[in-house]
Amino acid sequence: MDARRLLGWGLLALCTACSGARQAVREPSGSGTGGSGVAAREQSMDSEDLASRRYVDHAMGFELIQPGGDWQLDQTDEQTPEGLTIPVVLRHPSSGAQVVLQVAPAVASPAQFAERLTVGLRSQPGFVTSEPEPLPMSDSAVGFYFSVGNNVRGRVVVRDGSAGHVFMMLATWPASAPDEVPQAVNALFESVRPLPVVPEQT
């Protein structure tokens, strides 16, 4: 299996996400209500809220926590002949942000995937990327940021996945998006984990 062909699909998915990123105007949110009772209720609901937003894919061997608000998760289960699967796409309609999770055969390390993706992106017109750097989410996680002209920002994170797989996470958002959009993307990336291996019972 050719890692370059898999990376080609990764670049295709990333460029498709970039083309879908659009400028959007976000309506200002209403002012919050003060009071310690509100804070106490929010704190007590945290664990319930996280449980309700947990998404588990046993077939692909991962779990994630969906962002709150109006983020939407679409199951796609798209698969290429090379073995690359796109199980889910998350979208934020009000800002135009999008996150694509890809599961690839581990034909290269996360660092190698990230390095080749940066080289591939830099060959595309208008793309500028940072250098890949290690991330604390796992021993092998690597990530980098990129931009496309003045309008689109993005991030890529590659980490070890379930046995024999690598998780590639690709996100784009309009440069005009409020700060909470990239913050939600980062929290989503950090929540993606391979499912623990359950030992077989004898």
For the chain, the structural domain boundaries read 3-22+44-194
Q: Say what the alpha-carbon torsion angle 128, 134, 139, 140 is, to the nearest 10 degrees.
A: 30
Would you say the C-alpha torsion 39, 44, 46, 49 has a positive or negative sign? negative
Smallest Cα–Cα separation from 7: which of 92, 105, 88, 90? Answer: 105
Which tokens sit at 6?
């898999």
What pLDDT does residue 19 have?
52
pLDDT computed for residue 11 by the predictor: 55
Q: Are strands 152-160 and 165-174 parallel, antiparallel or unpaired?
A: antiparallel
Average pLDDT over every residue of 62-89: 88
Instruction: Say yes or no to pLDDT of 31 above 50.
Output: no
pLDDT (0 to 100) of residue 80: 76
pLDDT digits (tens, 9 = 90+) for 137-169: 999 999 999 998 899 999 999 999 988 999 999
Q: Per CATH, is 3-22+44-194 categorized as 3.40.1000.10?
A: yes
What is the average pLDDT score of the chain? 80
Q: 9 vs 67, which has greater pLDDT?
A: 67
- Whether 173 and 188 have beta carbons less than 8 Å apart is answered as no
